[in-house]
Amino acid sequence: MSESVLTTPDPLDPQPVPFVDLEPTAKASSVKTKDDKADSGPFPIWTAADFAAYEPHPDRDILGRAILRAGNLTLLMGQPGLGKSTASFALAIANVRGDDSFAGIPLNPKPRRWLFVGNENGKDRWKEHFEDAARTLTPAQQTALQAQIHVAALFEDENPDLTLPDQAKRLEATVRAAQADVVILDPWTEIVPNEIDSMMVRASIASLRGAIRRANPDAAILVVCHARAGREMVADSIGNFGAGTAQRGNRLLYSSARASLLLVPYADDGSDLVLALNKCNDGPSMGPRRISFDREAFCYRVNDDFDLEQWAEGLRAKAKPKRKVSAETIEGLVREGHNTPKSLVAKLADRAGERSVKQAIMVAVDMNLIVRTGRGTYAIP
């Protein structure tokens, strides 16, 4: 562990500076938009020689290898109340301290500017977080804390709307003003108007990326989002085949991310968690680990007493047995007047999840038991 010492900015190796409300920098203002005439030309073309000459920046990786990387989108998923917001803040504090690891994952100690954008935590919660973290810092690190961590103050006297694309310009201006290297958006449900609607999700993702890239093309993006509940989901989502099912809502966000971290409870009682890397497109896989948050040290401790297979099997043994929904059940409900996906999901909520119901609807359509009408409803043929 080393102290984070801020020095005079070096144009070749910029260091964090205190938060100021800046005008757009020359670099940011030079980023082309869709309205630029230059965009009517061909896309840039690289050859084998260009790739051979390309040298990745040695400090582009912030956490692990490509888990949190400059310019990439990463997810931090978990069920409500598990401490996802605390985990993201503890990660930033670890960088302020100059730690070389976070929850057992290598952490690049180079100082970064962190910007938290969210509207769930109020002034009291943030004050508690900063005070708890500051007690673990040296005087020099406390000075660095002022320069490195910033919070968008979306409190009761400020408009808390984070919906994208409506607030894209404001998000862009905030990232630029903070000169952020890492942008944490928490939670995803406050950013997308409807996390089920594919068109809205796609538009929100594009707006999110566009706004941050215009402010800083090299900023890493960490989106905090909810995961589905249930013991069997938890056990299955740790493995490769079930990883994509962990996110709650539309899966487009998961597909768009380059990496995804998942926090799940270790047991029904206790504060221990299991941290898993259930996706990393640009780096190696990482085994799940059992962790616990040490508030006195404001960091996560890794518990070596963890048998993944035994733990997963225990979860599956306690899971409620699945009850499949048949195509004939769907047909019967449509006859009764439950002729929309929303109505069918609500009617069968005590028997199966949304995904299972929608799969049964598709089977019923394939079997010609029901037909899809032009307005997103179903009818008996």
In the chain, the amino acid numbered 198 is S
Q: Which residues contact 12 (CB under 8 A, 6 or more apart)?
A: none
Shared-domain flag, residues 119 and 255: yes
The answer to whether residue 335 is domain-embedded is yes
Q: Confidence band (pLDDT; 50, 70, 90) for 48?
A: very high
Return the CATH number at 83: 3.40.50.300
Tell whether the model's pLDDT for residue 23 goes beyond 50: no
Amino acid 76: pLDDT: 96
Distance CA 50, CA 66 (A): 22
Tell whether the model's pLDDT for residue 36 goes beyond 50: no
The answer to whether residue 26 is domain-embedded is no
Tell whether the model's pLDDT for residue 265 goes beyond 70: yes
Shared-domain flag, residues 287 and 370: no
Shared-domain flag, residues 143 and 204: yes
Shared-domain flag, residues 245 and 275: yes
Amino acid 33: pLDDT: 44
- Range of weakest confidence among 130-134, 138-142, 323-327: 323-327
Shared-domain flag, residues 297 and 214: yes
Q: Confidence band (pLDDT; 50, 70, 90) for 165?
A: very high
Q: Which of 314, 343, 362 lies at the terminal end of a domain, its last residue?
A: 314
| Cβ 98 vs Cβ 3: under 8 Å | yes
Residue-number span of the structural domain to which 164 is assigned: 58-314
The answer to whether residue 283 is domain-embedded is yes
> Across the chain, what does the average pLDDT equal?
85
The answer to whether residue 14 is domain-embedded is no
Length of the chain, please? Answer: 381
Name residue 264's beta-bridge partners: 274
Q: Which residues contact 52 (CB under 8 A, 6 or more apart)?
A: none
Shared-domain flag, residues 338 and 300: no
The answer to whether residue 44 is domain-embedded is no
The answer to whether residue 201 is domain-embedded is yes
Shared-domain flag, residues 358 and 211: no
Shared-domain flag, residues 104 and 164: yes
The answer to whether residue 38 is domain-embedded is no
Place of tokens 């910007």: 115
pTM of the entire structure? 0.75
- Rg of the chain over Cα atoms, rounded to whole angstroms, equals 23
Shared-domain flag, residues 232 and 286: yes
**Does 324 or 35 have the greater pLDDT score?**
324
Shared-domain flag, residues 284 and 222: yes
Q: Which of 314, 336, 371 lies at the terminal end of a domain, its last residue?
A: 314
DSSP 236-261: HHTSTTTGGG-BSS-THHHHH-SEEE
**Does 12 or 130 have the greater pLDDT score?**
130
DSSP 192-234: SS-SS-HHHHHHHHHHHHHHHHHH-TT-EEEEEEEB---HHHH
Number of domains into which the chain is organized: 2
Residue 198 in tokens: 């594919």
Shared-domain flag, residues 267 and 353: no
The proportion of the chain whose per-residue pLDDT surpasses 90, expressed as a percent, equals: 55
Place of tokens 């929100």: 204
Tell whether the model's pLDDT for residue 250 goes beyond 90: no
Helices 327-335 and 354-366 pack at an angle, to 10 degrees, of 90
Q: Which of 314, 342, 361 lies at the terminal end of a domain, its last residue?
A: 314
Shared-domain flag, residues 309 and 335: no
The answer to whether residue 339 is domain-embedded is yes
- Could you give the angle at the alpha carbon of 363 between the alpha carbons of 361 and 369, nearest 5°? 80
